[in-house]
């Protein structure tokens, strides 16, 4: 109920996990669903409160695609979004404009909650 997932033209990739490891240890490999050269993948979760995450917001190059992480926060509704967006690498000018527009829309999610009765946020987590 508090999650949204969409994807188009994607496949499974094997990549290094992004986790903290002791010095000298190799990062484990994980399967990631990512876009092919014209695809997109996105996961959005609405979470109560706000918590610090190990990864900061921003882009990570995953060789075949770029992964963006965003955590827009609503003080008014005491919640935040946890967003992972994966788009193809390359086409920097097109991708940059899309990501900027997408991020701007995410930052205004607080206004959408106000219209749709944000008082039920996190009810499914209890």
Residue 21 domain-assigned? no
Residue 102 domain-assigned? yes
Residue 105 domain-assigned? yes
DSSP string, 3-26: EEEEEEEEEEEEEE------TTPP
Residue 55 domain-assigned? yes
Q: How many domains is the chain partitioned into structurally?
A: 1
Residue 59 domain-assigned? yes
pLDDT one-digit tens code per residue, 69-79: 999 999 999 99
Average pLDDT for the chain: 86
What range does the domain containing 86 cover? 3-9+36-125
DSSP three-state, residue 45: strand
| In contact, 15 and 32? CB cutoff 8 Å | yes
pLDDT one-digit tens code per residue, 9-36: 999 999 999 888 788 888 899 999 999 9
Distance CA 87, CA 38 (A): 8
DSSP string, 24-92: TPPPPEEEEEEEEEEEEEEEEEEEES----SSPSEEEE-SSEEEEEE--EETTTTEEEEEEEEEESS-H
At residue 52, does pLDDT exceed 50? Answer: yes
pLDDT one-digit tens code per residue, 55-74: 899 999 998 899 999 999 99
Residue 70 domain-assigned? yes
- Residue 125: predicted pLDDT: 43
């Amino acid at each position: 109920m508090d999650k949204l997932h969409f994807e188009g033209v994607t496949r499974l990739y094997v990549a290094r996990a992004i986790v903290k490891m002791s010095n000298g240890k190799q990062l484990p490999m994980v399967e990631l669903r990512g876009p092919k050269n014209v695809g997109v993948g996105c996961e959005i979760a609405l979470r109560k409160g706000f918590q610090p995450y190990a990864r900061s917001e921003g882009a990570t190059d995953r060789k075949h695609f770029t992964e963006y992480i965003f955590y827009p926060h609503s003080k008014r509704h005491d919640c935040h979004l946890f967003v992972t967006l994966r788009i193809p690498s390359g086409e920097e000018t097109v991708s940059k404009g899309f990501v900027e527009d997408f991020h701007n829309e995410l930052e205004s999610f607080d206004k959408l909650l106000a219209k749709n009765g944000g008082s039920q946020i996190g009810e499914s987590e209890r």
